[in-house]
Amino acid sequence: MTLRTINHSWAETVALFEQRNLPVSGYENLYNETYDVHTGDASISGDFVLDGADLAGTGYVIDGDLTVGGNIVNLDDGCPALIVLGDLRAGNIYLEGDVKLLVRGTVHVDAFIGNTTDKLVIIHGDLRASVTVLSDEFSPDLIGGELHGGVIAPPYLELAQDRDPATLLVPEVLVTDEDDDDDDDRRGFDAPRVHGGRLLQRIEEGLPVARCSRPR
């Protein structure tokens, strides 16, 4: 990982947000604590796992674009916030814990996956994904631009589409007749026909989950 950060007070962090014209609504629900700020564009060659990150503050602020060669993953509660004041590019984004993700620009990923409700996810630009998978009442708090790509979500979510999951996801992550409806390995996924355990396993193994990758 190539992040070089300097710890900022909350007042210094807010001043940076104001300089970058980040709306107050985009950060007012963050913890009023210190944040580790990386100046300029940042690049991470592998995965960016937010759980257990070693940093001085409550989260990361990238004052530019962030490019992640692998995946961005959050599984546990209490993970650091990730604020990107430019565009965000990654292989996949998998969010399941108490995540806080704010992006001033556009998000470019193969798959954007969210499971559970304890989150703050604000994207001021577009969400450009080959597939978006939403489960257990997870829905971004804001997508300021357009949502590109197919969406697999339970029908009670506004973003749900009438799409066949088999046309969007690789067959290895779909529920089969042999799967037990009460199997804990499904991770409580209620996105139609999606096996949450196998989906996460493929992400952790660096294998594709979307049938078609979106150019980044």
Task: Phi first, then psi: give them for residue 79, nearest 5 degrees.
Answer: -75, 160
Q: pLDDT of 5-55, one tens digit each?
A: 999 999 999 999 999 999 998 899 999 999 999 999 999 999 999 988 888
Place 70 in a pLDDT band, splitting at 50, 70 and 90. Answer: very high
pTM score of the predicted model: 0.94
What would the two tokens of residue 19 be?
A: 């300089």
Annotate 5-52 with three-state secondary structure.
EEEECHHHHHHHHHHCCCCHHHCCCCCCCCEEEEECCEEECCCEECCC
* HSE toward the beta carbon, residue 179, CA cutoff 13 A: 19
DSSP 8-state symbol, 167:
G
Distance between CA 80 and CA 186 in Å, rounded?
25
Q: pLDDT of 123-162, one tens digit each?
A: 999 999 999 999 999 999 999 999 999 999 999 999 999 9
Place of tokens 């991470």: 44
pLDDT over 80 at 94, yes or no = yes
